[in-house]
């Protein structure tokens, strides 16, 4: 009888240890997601700041700004479609159920990577081009 009681106590200890481990993992996963979300939002803010700087620098070029706005809308559509292609879901499906618990983290990482790349693409309009660059198009000269 004592052996059965100890065995049950052992099961309870193992269960509790597993529960504490699971809660700890969930918390650290949540921390990772929050960190990645903060990094994505920082990247998004940086890109928006870049766009604002471009709008200021090129305020006397309304045709360029109109085309830039159209390009930015097209990029946002591309970004969303790319993320959907990377993690395709049917109507009503849950990303976590289909791709696992890392779905939110991975989706945020992809959004951040795409946003960082777009910011790098926009930088030449701020930096300007060097004299002699025949393909500078709408970019200002340094």
Topology (CATH level 3) of domain 2-127: Substrate Binding Domain Of Dnak; Chain:A; Domain 2 (1.20.1270)
Q: Residue 75 has which token pair? A: 């990029």
pLDDT at 97 over 90: yes
* Class of residue 54 by CB neighbours under 10 A (exposed 0-12, middle 13-18, buried 19+): buried
Are the C-beta atoms of residues 99 and 109 closer than 8 Å to each other? no
Phi-psi region of 62 (alpha: psi -120 to 50; beta: other; left: phi over 0): alpha
pTM of the model: 0.79
Report residue 49 as tokens: 């700041």
Query: How confident is the model at residue 29, as a pLDDT?
Result: 77
Pick from 86, 88, 104, 87: nearest CA to 96: 104
pLDDT tens string 15-42: 444 433 444 444 457 999 999 999 999 9
Answer yes or no: is pLDDT of 8 > 90: no
pLDDT of residue 54: 98
């Amino acid at each position: 009888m004592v052996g059965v009681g100890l065995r049950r106590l052992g099961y309870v200890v193992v269960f509790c240890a597993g529960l504490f481990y699971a809660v700890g993992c969930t918390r650290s996963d949540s921390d990772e997601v929050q960190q990645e979300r903060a990094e994505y939002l920082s990247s998004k803010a940086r890109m928006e700041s870049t766009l604002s700087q471009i709008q200021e620098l090129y305020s006397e070029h309304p045709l360029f700004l109109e085309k830039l706005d159209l390009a930015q809308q097209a990029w946002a559509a591309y970004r969303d479609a790319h993320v959907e292609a990377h993690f395709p879901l049917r109507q009503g499906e849950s990303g976590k159920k289909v791709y696992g618990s890392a779905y939110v983290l991975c989706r945020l990482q992809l959004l951040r990577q795409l946003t960082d790349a777009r910011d790098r693409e926009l930088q030449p309009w701020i930096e300007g081009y060097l004299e002699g660059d025949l393909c500078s198009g709408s970019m200002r000269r340094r």
